[in-house]
Amino acid sequence: MDVRNCRECGRLFNYIGGIKLCPDCIEALEKKFADVKEYIYQNENCGIREVSDAVGVSVAQIKQWVREERLIFSSKAGSVIECELCGAPIVTGKYCQKCKDNMQKQLTSVMDHPTVEKSRKAVRDKDRMRFLDK
């Protein structure tokens, strides 16, 4: 049996599957999560700091929930976290749309060559337009 100290309250608990908190603290954290979610729901355009102050949860913890895509702030509230690749401000998840698109492109270009196909089509469209001009 693997027994460790809870990262939050320091109490000993059975350590299972990389979770660093005791069951009580996990439950308390889930309650906080519900509070945060409720607060964002009630105050649509609130920023991350406002929520942190109002509910009493650290900004870092809220950011983690946002990264886990459990929470989404209104885009009017501004971005709360940054893209892990380019640092661009984003609202949820790990990466911005541009980096997601790039990753998607890299993935698909390995399978077939959509970029080549696209440029061929562009050339064809251009030719057609020139033809219509005449």
* Residues in region 99-118 near Zn ion by CB under 5 A: 99
Residue nearer to Zn ion on the CB measure, 6 or 81: 6
CB of 44 to Zn ion, least distance (A): 26
Give yes or no for a contact between 73 and 40, defined as CB atoms under 8 angstroms apart.
yes
By CB under 5 A, the residues from 6 to 35 that bind Zn ion are: 6, 8-9, 22, 25
Smallest distance from Zn ion to CB 39, Å = 23
State both tokens at 105.
């492109």
Q: Can you give the length of the chain in residues?
A: 134
**If binding is defined by CB under 5 A, does position 96 make contact with Zn ion?**
yes
Phi-psi region of 5 (alpha: psi -120 to 50; beta: other; left: phi over 0): beta
In this structure, the strands spanning 89-90 and 3-5 are unpaired
- Using the rule CB under 5 A, is 88 a contact of Zn ion? yes
Rounded to a whole number of angstroms, the minimum distance from the CB of residue 111 to Zn ion is: 23
C-alpha angle 40/47/67, rounded to 5°? 75
Residues that bind Zn ion (CB under 5 A): 6, 8-9, 22, 25, 83, 85-86, 88, 96, 99
